[in-house]
A and B are shown apart, each in its own frame.
Chain A
């Protein structure tokens, strides 16, 4: 294998599994260390820099970081990253003084954002400090988009939403509530905006066309619209027996909301076995804790009416054949079942809908009738019109929408400055040694064997009394103290310099997880089997050093299970290994602005 190019910014970035998995590249180990030191406000600001809504995401993030977390490979369970984010948000001080300063003199450019959801708010958050005038158009009477309408208040309290959205609006955003954009042409031609950002989400719930659907309409609800009506207080009751069709996260919100609106018996109906569920594991757990029944292998067949009213649904009982990798190879219907119900909620997905975008504006739509959006610049085929969040590539989640917002803000800035959109700043990584003395390292490198802490919940008796009682209580001080130590500090990197190595084997002997090997070089497949512990995780690239001075063998590191204990560096007599903190620099609009500013010719 060729020697690994560690100067590539991705090399050290992908070692930090959580940060690599996070769409917004949140510096997770850094903020966990700050929490460990009790510096909650600093931890909050590290979060806010990348993900803008730490308090919100600390409760309802989709957590792509957690399945990626190395702790989950070394042990059974990953670090409770999301819960710790909430700790920073809950215990921080007032951050007003630390928010970006907004220039009084504007730069003369006006930006329109359509929809006051997380993507648009991120665009405003990034552009306001640069002197832009940002106007956000929102159809409802409150900002927040799907974060407010689709996530029930017992998971995400309104106060948390209000505060974090308020930080952005407080920058002087012109928010037009109750303003539904009916025509993009009108906005482009008469609005006088230099750029338009479409962050209108994927607001259309999917329909289930089955016999009886129309006749039963009064008791069949579309999940996301229903949650929206609940959020705005338009719906306050539901029948005693409720069926939820679908097992995504929206279904979990629907079933738990039903329980708070008077339902006694809630069943979530899944077409396929559990392994195929779309809902996050923790949301399934939380629903089941509230006695929601999840019934698998039932495919909806028809709505059944009695005396003109919904009486239940019939389902086909399914049987699946799976192959060795768990994929369905065959399915068959083994029978039919009627399940009585007073109400049915459909939560089988959502779609983009752009009836308000005229098709002759130069915005190209693809065969699924969604706009063609550049995945890097987020610009549509019409210059100056950008898409982000669910509006860009269909339903994802908040953290993706935030990153879309960051990237779109860079594009909008470059667009307004007349710079080519694609020539953006590249990401970078800086490294700094953590060695403090002979045997001192400025990070906690002892492996804490504690297991993942569990989130305490409001008791089942109490939580249903009101619809907006937040179920998760947040970690206690003791839980925080233990959970922070579970983080392996993957960003404190093992940095090797081959020319210093004397091949004494000290690092190899001491490595607790056998991730180092000195071996003759070979092609990757061969090398993977020759290591001290075979490198079976093929998605984890091997580190291969330059040839070592004495024998021309190479140092190979399989990063997969490295616990960053630092013993290789501690035991190295020549400091060929060093522990260095990596800082991933993921550019935002402010960095673009600074870089463009520096390139301008200076007039003396």
Chain B
């Protein structure tokens, strides 16, 4: 970690977004993670994405559990709302907050331990509920905060810093999310902001549960020879399948895509995702095929990355539709609506007598 704060001085020609903010206005507190941590790069990507979307900081909710990853919500958008929950329980808090106010943007940042070990059940149900949030897993294969034990995402045969070999099979959050019906499933790498930033933008704008599993090397405990989540290994075994360019509603598509190269998906708010398939046979709208492809690449030791699966049709009901939550935030409802009174309670109780 570092003790030297980033000075407030900025590049004088830093561009401003629709709200008149520069990227620097979306920064947060000084990071206390190890120098070179992949998580810090993801933080920078989130900052870039929030700036790019012209998010009003007060409309962003940052949720996390426990772990190195979960500390990072303090390091971006200091103007947003933050909640550091109990270990692995971030999805519950996200569900509650989401139920109370559906107008805010929810971003949950979790790690492989927080999501795939102690919080696995919570994670699964958040996916099932199709909770309207962006869930980022900062996945490094180790428990960094407790000095580098294998996590549930460590690959078989992967070596720890001291030389032990991992013998247990990994849980892959991408496959799990595909299986549980997630509508936006992506994988990326902290060292590739060109891929990651548009994914975060799209994930924040997607209605329903958006998962981005971000390979984020632990520079202290998992960046050695024999690790399968080091910077060097990830770069060598990293295979982008579908690149996603995010285009906000108010902007024209200016990039020049070759014929047949790109397809466009419109999100509920009118913004668009332009998908560029690097593998012509790959179909990111086919859940089974996507899962098969991920598995196939995994068996040969490759990480398939990019926007692996997207269902923006809205056919799969998301949390609010299922639970018929009110459009208006609970804090804006009149007292009478929130508190129907003794008579109403008696009526409900009467149903059980």
**Which of A's residues lie within 8 Å of B, judged by CB?**
73-75, 439, 445-447, 449, 502-506, 508-510, 512-515, 533-534, 536, 550-551, 561, 563, 565-567, 570-574
Contacts and interface: CB of A to CB of B under 8 A. Distances in A.
Contacts of B4: 439, 445-446, 565-567, 570
B191 A510 contact: no
Interface residues of B, number: 33
Contact of A509 (B9, B10, B43, B232): B43
Nearest to B48: A509
Nearest to A513: B11
Interface stretch (B30-38, B163-171, B288-296, B300-308): B30-38
Nearest to A509: B44
Nearest to A514: B11
B223 A567 contact: no
Contacts of B220: 573
A534 B11 CA distance: 10
B190 interface: yes
B7 interface: yes
Given A512-B6, A513-B9, A533 B14 contact: yes
A570 B2 contact: yes
A506 B10 contact: no
Output the residue of A446, A447, A509, A561 with the most chain B CB within 10 A. Answer: A509
Nearest to A549: B232
Nearest to A574: B36
A572 B9 contact: no
A505 B190 contact: yes
Contacts of B193: 505
Given A74-B9, A446-B7, A502-B231, A571 B35 contact: yes
Nearest to A551: B235
Contacts of A510: 6, 40
Given A445-B4, A514-B14, A572-B35, 8 more contacts: A447-B9, A503-B191, A503-B235, A504-B36, A504-B231, A506-B37, A506-B41, A512-B9
A504 B7 contact: no
Contacts of B5: 446
Given A445-B4, A573-B219, A502 B36 contact: yes
Output the residue of B5, B7, B34 with the most chain A CB within 10 A. Answer: B7
A573 B36 contact: yes
Nearest to B13: A533
B343 interface: no
B3 interface: yes
A512 B223 CA distance: 26
B12 interface: yes
B208 interface: no
A561 B11 contact: yes
B217 interface: yes
Nearest to B233: A550
A505 B41 contact: yes
B102 to A, nearest CB: 32
Nearest to B7: A447
Contacts of A536: 13
Nearest to A576: B36
B231 A567 contact: no
Q: Majority SS of interface residues in chain A?
A: loop
Given A536-B13, A573-B219, A505 B7 contact: no
Contacts, number: 100
Contacts of A508: 44
B8 interface: yes
Given A446-B7, A550-B231, A550-B232, A506 B35 contact: yes
A513 B13 CA distance: 10
30 contacts: A439-B2, A445-B4, A447-B8, A447-B9, A449-B7, A449-B9, A502-B36, A502-B219, A502-B223, A503-B235, A504-B36, A504-B37, A504-B191, A504-B217, A505-B44, A506-B35, A508-B44, A512-B9, A513-B10, A514-B14, A533-B13, A561-B11, A565-B6, A567-B6, A570-B2, A570-B35, A571-B36, A572-B35, A573-B34, A574-B36
A503 B36 CA distance: 9
Contacts of B6: 510, 512, 565, 567
B9 A563 contact: yes
A75 B232 CA distance: 39
A505 B34 CA distance: 13
A82 B12 CA distance: 26
Contacts of B191: 503-505
A560 to B, nearest CB: 9
A486 B134 CA distance: 43
Output the residue of B6, B34, B193, B217 with the most chain A CB within 10 A. Answer: B6
A509 B40 contact: yes
3 closest cross-chain pairs (CB), A and B: A573-B36, A447-B7, A509-B44
Nearest to A511: B6
Contact of A561 (B12, B34, B43): B12
Contacts of A449: 7-9
A47 B235 CA distance: 51
B331 to A, nearest CB: 35
Output the residue of A439, A508, A512, A551 with the most chain B CB within 10 A. Answer: A512
Output the residue of B7, B35, B219 with the most chain A CB within 10 A. Answer: B35
Nearest to A506: B36
Output the residue of A74, A504, A573 with the most chain B CB within 10 A. Answer: A504
A503 B235 CA distance: 10
Nearest to B1: A439
Contacts of A75: 9
B233 to A, nearest CB: 10
A92 B282 CA distance: 76
A563 B43 CA distance: 23
B138 to A, nearest CB: 14
Output the residue of B4, B34, B41, B232 with the most chain A CB within 10 A. Answer: B4
A563 B8 CA distance: 11
B5 to A, nearest CB: 8
A492 to B, nearest CB: 14
Contacts of B235: 503, 550-551
Contacts of A74: 9, 12
B38 to A, nearest CB: 7
Interface string B178-200: 00000000000011010000000
A551 B10 CA distance: 29
Interface string B198-235: 00000000000000000001011001000000011001
A515 B7 CA distance: 14
Contacts of B223: 502
